[in-house]
Amino acid sequence: MVPREAVARQEWWDVLRPPADLAHQCGQLVSKLQPSGALDQPKLSRLVRSIGEQSELWQSLVVVDPSRRRYRLLYEDDRIDIWVLSWMPGQGTGFHDHDHSEVALMCVQGTVVERQMLLPSGAARVEMSPGHCRTGGAGYIHAVDHKEGEPAVTLHAYSPPLIHVGQYVVNEAGILERKIEHGRRELMDHTIQI
């Protein structure tokens, strides 16, 4: 495996264009579910479940890459974006939030672990296997890590679209900081170990 510090960050322009036919089909699902406006957590959950049940909508976007977690845009409009994420051993996001966006994430292949901080120390852990879906509101803080499958695959839907992500890091003085990242920029692994 390539050391994490040797892996260059995947840039957002690498993943901008979803396949037109898949985007069109997903757009129809979104419009059928809610013709206008942002989608709330229950609707986001229904949407990722519907997409997850149709492997022809996401399977071609799965990328096996042992050096970094990969993500591909499946659909976007002015109120939502939907992503296919591929996870290999040792890959994870580190703790982050989705700023103003609500989120639904669903495992469709393999297993990932979602962690949430427990203060003053530790983390709650939920194993997500195919069919398992989690949701969170704006400001929802979590980390996701690969557990099983080469690759494990998750679907993520954000409404409104994911413009900013808050990445949580501990600085040299041991102080927790929130760094703002573009929503399409790759989060690097394990910024806080708990």
Domain for residue 6, yes or no?
no
Domain for residue 192, yes or no?
no
Q: How far is CA 17 from the centre of its chain?
A: 17
CB neighbourhood size of 51 (10 A): 24
Domain for residue 9, yes or no?
no
For 35, counting Cβ atoms within 10 Å of its Cβ (0-12 exposed, 13-18 middle, 19+ buried), the class is: exposed
Q: 């910024």: which residue's tokens?
A: 191
Domain for residue 90, yes or no?
yes
Report, in angstroms and rounded to the nearest whole number, the Rg of the chain calculated over CA atoms. Answer: 16
Q: Which of 97, 138, 90 is nearest to 112 (CA)?
A: 90
Domain for residue 39, yes or no?
yes
> What residue numbers bound the domain in which 105 lies?
18-182
Domain for residue 194, yes or no?
no
pLDDT tens by residue, the chain, 194 residues: 334 444 455 554 456 688 999 999 999 999 999 999 999 999 999 999 999 999 999 999 999 999 888 899 999 999 999 999 999 999 999 899 999 999 999 999 999 999 998 888 788 999 999 999 999 999 899 999 999 999 999 999 999 999 888 988 888 888 888 888 876 766 665 455 55
pLDDT at residue 192, as a whole number: 54
Domain for residue 5, yes or no?
no
Domain for residue 187, yes or no?
no
73, 83 contact by CB (below 8 A): yes
CATH of residue 40's domain is 2.60.120.10
Distances in Å between the alpha carbon of 111 and those of 86, 101, 104?
Answer: 11, 24, 16
**Structural domains counted in the chain:** 1
